[in-house]
């Protein structure tokens, strides 16, 4: 080991990246957790007047409530994909500090507005519209934050991508646990929602403070300065004649480099990029669209029936996904050049028919083959753990297959393909659910 490389004292950089990873997904997970609150707000008994006639409020409510989850998914995934794409292309032109700090500030302000609106009475349609606009904005800034964060981690050792993935996994686990606590407490939906959003604000504020402290750490400073070192060494090796020639035509050289760099980097990491895309296509295509409709087969289960989906679906998925992501901190098998890694991700497609054959209700086409609750719980544990572990490996290995000077761009490309997988999964979820 190079004695000049400083140590990550007290795992400070690791913990900061963990907090930033938590900050990227906690807002979205809290929005999903508060779905019951949002749909309840769409049932305010106030008539909607359009032109010379009054719209039946029951019909209006049923339309808004029934479409809320589908519209929310679309408003979340497609801005996430679009802005991940923009970030992977334009990140070299926009300063990193502006992208990360600006995104965190914007998300914090949006959640403060969301918390305030909990206490403000509003008609269903304006509330629905404002909520969707907030979801679009939060996921747009979240995409920029996530892509920038993976790009920033790309210049560090591979082990420092793990805390981002682990932090994102904890975000889902924390939200699922909060949902279970809310059910157990029997507190009012508005009170629970206000607590959710204030908690999210606190976590985002902590993430902002962590990011401010990051550049002051010696370990981070070393790798950031080392990122540009190859370019400096290469320039020093050039003669005076070569320097003069570069000075005469700088713009032409830069244009050529910019047009080819993203594609040339993608050619080096395409296996990892497509692997992480496929991982999340299968995951989001199945969870939660299919899994949330599984019903317990235990007769007269009482409390278990009420907690079945919150525990066996949401809590188990997020907890074991988090465990899989965190395992890459101590184990990174198979290696970055192994064909086994994409092979294992392809094998995860088996979970689609397995979940379809569980007790998903209502169903019209397929029979129920796995009737016992234990089958569903077993599938969920394996499904979640494999997603967290294998996807985290791909995100760690991607930036390590290119030169250090290209690592940030590689990280941004990987984040784009992760978002592409989320969008494809969201689209396929309608097909998977329709087959049942």
- What is the pLDDT tens value at each position of the chain, 436 positions in all? 556 777 878 788 889 999 988 888 887 777 776 766 777 787 755 444 444 433 444 444 457 776 776 677 778 888 888 887 787 677 778 888 888 999 999 999 998 998 899 888 888 888 889 989 998 999 899 888 888 887 788 778 877 777 887 888 888 888 788 777 767 776 666 777 777 688 788 889 999 999 999 888 888 888 877 665 544 444 444 443 444 444 444 454 454 455 457 888 888 899 999 999 999 999 988 887 788 888 888 866 667 777 888 889 888 998 999 899 889 888 888 888 888 999 999 999 999 999 999 998 888 889 999 989 999 999 999 999 999 999 999 988 888 888 887 887 888 788 889 888 988 988 888 888 889 8
CB contact burial 356-382 (16+ within 10 A = b; e otherwise): bbbbbeebeeeebebeebebbbebbbe
**pLDDT value, residue 299:** 63
For 9-49+58-227+258-435, give the CATH class: mainly alpha
Which pTM does this prediction carry? 0.72
**pLDDT value, residue 236:** 45
Query: Cα separation of 103 and 101, whole Å?
Result: 5
**pLDDT value, residue 69:** 67
The number of beta carbons lying within 10 Å of the beta carbon of residue 255 is 11
Radius of gyration of the chain measured on its C-alpha atoms: 24
First to last CA, the chain: 55
**pLDDT value, residue 197:** 81
The domains of the chain are located at 9-49+58-227+258-435
């Amino acid at each position: 080991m190079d004695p000049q490389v400083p140590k990550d004292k007290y795992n400070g950089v690791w913990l900061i990246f963990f907090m930033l990873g938590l900050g990227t997904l906690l807002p979205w997970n809290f929005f999903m957790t508060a779905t019951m609150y949002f749909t309840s707000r769409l049932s305010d008994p106030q008539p909607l007047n359009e032109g010379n006639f009054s719209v039946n409020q029951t019909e209006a409510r049923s339309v808004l409530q029934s479409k809320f989850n589908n519209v929310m998914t679309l408003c979340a995934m497609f801005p996430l994909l679009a802005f991940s794409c923009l970030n992977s292309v334009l990140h070299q032109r926009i300063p990193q500090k502006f992208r990360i700090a600006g995104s965190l500030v914007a998300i914090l302000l949006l959640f403060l507005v969301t918390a305030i609106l909990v206490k403000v009475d509003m008609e269903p349609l304006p509330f629905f519209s404002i909520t969707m606009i907030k979801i679009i904005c939060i996921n747009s800034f979240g995409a920029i934050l996530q892509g920038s964060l993976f790009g920033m981690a790309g210049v560090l050792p591979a082990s420092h991508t793990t805390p981002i993935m682990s932090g994102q996994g904890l975000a889902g686990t924390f939200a699922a646990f909060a949902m279970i606590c809310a059910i157990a407490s029997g507190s009012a939906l508005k009170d629970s929602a206000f607590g959710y959003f204030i908690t999210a604000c606190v976590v985002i504020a902590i993430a902002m403070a962590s990011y401010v402290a990051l550049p002051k750490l010696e370990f981070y400073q070393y790798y950031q300065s080392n990122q540009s070192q190859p370019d400096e060494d290469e320039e020093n090796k050039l003669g005076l004649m070569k320097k003069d020639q570069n000075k005469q035509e700088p713009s032409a050289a830069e244009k050529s480099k910019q047009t080819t760099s993203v594609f040339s980097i993608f050619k080096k990491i395409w296996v990892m990029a497509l692997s992480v895309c496929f991982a999340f296509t299968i995951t989001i295509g199945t969870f939660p669209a299919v899994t949330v409709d599984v019903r317990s087969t235990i007769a007269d289960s009482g409390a278990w029936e009420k907690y079945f989906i919150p525990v066996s679906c949401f809590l188990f998925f997020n907890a074991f996904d988090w465990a899989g992501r965190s395992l890459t901190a101590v184990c990174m098998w198979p290696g970055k050049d192994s064909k086994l890694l994409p092979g294992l991700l392809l094998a995860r497609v088996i979970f689609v028919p397995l979940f379809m054959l569980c007790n998903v209700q209502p169903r019209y086409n397929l029979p129920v083959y796995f009737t016992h609750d234990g089958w569903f719980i077993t599938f969920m544990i394996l499904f979640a753990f494999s997603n967290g572990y294998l996807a985290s490996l791909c995100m760690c290995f991607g930036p390590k297959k290119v030169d250090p000077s290209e690592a940030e761009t590689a990280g941004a490309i990987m984040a784009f393909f992760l978002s592409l997988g989320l969008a494809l999964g969201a689209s396929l979820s309608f097909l998977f659910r329709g087959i049942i």
